[in-house]
Amino acid sequence: MTDDGQVPRTYPYGVPCWIDLEVHDLRAAQAFYRGLFGWSFADAVPEELPGHYLIATLDGQDVAAIGSIDPAANGVAASATWATYIAVDDADSAADAVRAAGGTVTSEPADAGPGGRAVSCTDPQGVPFRLWQARRRLGAQLVNVPGSWNFSDLLSEDLDAAIPFYAEVFGWRSAPLWEGGDPVLTVPGYGDHLAATVYPDIHEQQSFAPEDFADVVAGSTTPPPGDGPRWRVTFSVEDLGQSVATAEQLGAVVLRRSESPYARTADLRDALGAELTLSQFRPPDAGASWT
């Protein structure tokens, strides 16, 4: 239990658990995401140390982070990018597993203060992702509600080649949710973990969904035209039209819009140049089309 009586959200091995954004202009990033999602920020880096890592909260719960780009580590030309972290039990062992499966460790395992231990990697196709061994910081504590992280999707030109790497390292399984759809990625038993911890009625709430939907931890698809391979980060919104209008007022550019049987989405480039997706959930009884 936390001090306020809430059960902390935990993430088993292989489940995406955290996202962060690295930028050159922290003040501008705070203004954009505070205006879009209503986030509050607190710096996790002690004043006597260099750099900043701002933990974003919504309703008092951790949802993401925004950090300052280190020119010495990333180069002054590094662009703002959202990163997805995958939970592991031991960062060093998981880094070895990444190498053994054909991936690359681009930044060796290192402690991130008392919060945990992190590793930066790329898969065999060169797509960056990160590993997180949690200590004090267990991962995102509020997800899937408006203003919070909803999902991460693997964008790859060759999913048949990309997915087996993640399956070998994290034990993921893949299958489409509906006929002709892109594969979703599951961790067997994750739905039962949620039912036993923070989401006791998950199976009843998702009775409309395909079998094993509660085990879904990520999606996969080919990149949209003009986009490249990466891990795409999606945020939930209550009203897509209103959120897109707010984002544009704050300096974002709309790249594309789309819809699926479960959601209506818009891909944006934020005021810092980072790409993100906004998603409005489509209930299963909402009808065949959006108005």
Per DSSP bridges, beta strands 149-155 and 216-221 are parallel
Mean pLDDT, to the nearest integer, of 227-242? 96
Q: Which residues of 264-289 are buried (b: 16+ CB within 10 A; e: fewer)?
A: bbbbbbbbbebbbbbbbbbeeeeeee
> Among 48-52, 102-106, 147-151, where is mean pLDDT lowest?
48-52
pLDDT of 134-153, one tens digit each? 999 999 999 999 999 999 99
Confidence of residue 72 (pLDDT cuts 50, 70, 90): low
The pLDDT of residue 60 is: 96
- Mark out the alpha helices in 173-238 (DSSP H runs): 190-196, 202-205
Tell me what the pLDDT averaged over the chain comes to.
91
Residue bearing the bigger pLDDT, 260 or 186: 186
Domains of the chain: 16-134 (3.10.180.10), 149-281 (3.10.180.10)
| Distance from C-alpha of 287 to C-alpha of 164, rounded to nearest angstrom | 35
The pLDDT of residue 290 is: 32
Confidence of residue 288 (pLDDT cuts 50, 70, 90): very low
Residue bearing the bigger pLDDT, 7 or 246: 246
Class of residue 97 by CB neighbours under 10 A (exposed 0-12, middle 13-18, buried 19+): middle
